């Protein structure tokens, strides 16, 4: 696996911002599906036609306990040892390779009633990072998912990276 860092360091999503974004999505009237695997609750929000967001309920898992987040049919997010991840499957990547569609997806997410500033900002940053990667490198090969995730260096420095992977970051 080759990891290519984003051109500019991406901001790290804090626990507070993730929890706030989750609660903002939960407070909407957006259609959703809820599932639970090994006590970890995931909610798939059906945001716009053909574009879903699956989030791990932060109350169902400790931040230090990594989770695979269950099934992620579209845009996904969850926990790693270092923080959080957002995953873009092949459908998401192909959609985001069109800049107009990418802008429309972010706008549609932010236009959902009750989606607050934190959820809108996280969606915007995640989509922007993915679009920059896809424009530079193309869609991931071999049906891999494009993950943007938090990392911790050996010296303790925190940051994030984006890479094509066949497995969820730990």
Tens digit of each residue's pLDDT (9 = 90 or more) over 57-81: 878 765 333 334 332 335 677 788 8
CB crowding 135-156: b at 16 or more within 10 Å, else e: eeeebbeeebbbbbbbbeeeee
pLDDT of residue 167: 92
Strand partners for 4: 162
Nearest of 44, 48, 51, 50 to residue 22 by alpha carbon = 44
Where does residue 59 rank: exposed (0-12), middle (13-18), buried (19+ CB within 10 A)? exposed
Instruction: Read off the pTM.
Output: 0.57
Model pLDDT for residues 154-168, shown as the tens digit of each residue = 898 888 899 999 998
Average pLDDT over residues 54-58: 78
Domain limits, the chain: 15-60+69-165
């Amino acid at each position: 696996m080759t990891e290519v860092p984003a051109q500019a360091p991406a901001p790290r999503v804090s626990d507070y911002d993730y929890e706030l974004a989750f609660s903002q999505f939960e407070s909407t009237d957006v259609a959703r599906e809820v599932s639970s695997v090994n006590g970890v609750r995931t909610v798939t929000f059906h945001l716009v036609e053909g574009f879903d967001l699956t989030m791990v309920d932060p109350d169902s898992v400790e931040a230090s306990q990594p989770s695979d987040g269950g099934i992620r049919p579209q845009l996904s997010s969850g926990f790693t040892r270092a923080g959080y991840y957002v995953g873009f499957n092949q459908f998401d990547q192909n959609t985001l390779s069109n800049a107009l569609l990418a802008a429309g997806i972010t706008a549609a997410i932010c236009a959902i009633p009750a989606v607050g500033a934190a959820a809108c900002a996280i969606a915007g940053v995640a989509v922007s990072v993915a679009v920059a990667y896809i424009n530079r490198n193309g869609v991931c090969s071999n049906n891999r998912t494009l993950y943007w995730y938090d990392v911790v260096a050996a010296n303790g420095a925190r940051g994030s990276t984006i890479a094509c992977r066949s497995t969820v970051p730990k």
